[in-house]
Amino acid sequence: MPTFIIARLTFIEAIRRRILLAAFLLGVAFLILYGVGFYIIRTEAVAERPNTDAINATLMRGGIDNFLALAGLYAVNFLAIAMGALVSADTLAGEINSGTIQALVTKPVHRAEIVLGKWLGFAGLLAMYLVLMAGGVMAVAYVLDGYIVPNPWTGILLIYLETLLIMTITLMCSSMLSTLATGGVIFGMYGIAFIGGWVEQFGALLQNQGAVNIGIVSSLLIPSEALWRRAAYEMTPSIAQVVGISFSGPMFNASVPSQTMIVYAMGYLVVAFTIAVRIFSKRDL
């Protein structure tokens, strides 16, 4: 099928541009640095309380491990989002400006198949990257302290959904804007979601409904940060969820998005992809 041929070519193009190689080498460097930091921080934190009884020591150790694991996954989440935006920002806009897209549109293939093929190629690339990075962070936590992140697949799938969402919105913008404009729009939208998420957390801690509403509105504009906070909550131990102590990277996860937000994000992705197909199909190349 033309769609899968384009997906394969998109993946091969990423290899030709050394995107996979660069991601792999930098990913390995990140995991080495993270492993060293994990070991040092955990060792120092445990050493500060040598006389703690067994139960409290176990709880403290689990809390430290969970915090460090989620901090690493927080960094992986951002790196995956950045990669999703960078690899797809130029895929339509750049090829339209350079004229190389005409080599595809002149073939007996629908424009919707071109967009879908590129989307599938990038989706496969991001899946490989996320498995390497998120799996590496979880492997470091397990090897160094025997810690197993709760609900790892649920958390990784939510992070993957967030990455696909950003990549799809980037593809949509790339179908109608230049590469630079697409990058500006995407990182501007992500910045709104990021700041809105932090405002919502502080609003929940201070019981300020106005601040919480700001975060909710920003999540409706683009639900990327909400997906990460839900993923962090899913990867938090049950006992911490019950007492309301969970982390979303460097801070407490005081306001947890509902399951409805996940459904909303899926619908958002579908709408963004549909708009990308519609605009690209009607655009004068």
Contact criterion met (CB below 8 Å) for 219 and 192 = no
Dihedral sign for Cα atoms in the order 98, 99, 104, 105: positive
Q: What is the pLDDT of residues 160-178, one digit of tens each?
A: 999 999 999 999 998 888 8
Tokens of 20: 């996979």
pLDDT confidence of residue 2: 79
pLDDT at 50 over 60: no
Question: What is the distance between the alpha carbons of residues 64 and 141, in angstroms, rounded to a whole number?
Answer: 11
pLDDT confidence of residue 95: 77
Per-residue DSSP letter, 51: T
Per-residue DSSP letter, 252: B
Mean pLDDT of the chain: 85
CA torsion, points 107, 113, 118, 119, in degrees to nearest 10? 180
Domain limits of the chain? 2-282
**SS3 category, 49:** coil
**SS3 category, 20:** helix
211-215: average pLDDT: 87
Question: What is the distance between the alpha carbons of residues 78 and 246, in angstroms, rounded to a whole number?
Answer: 19
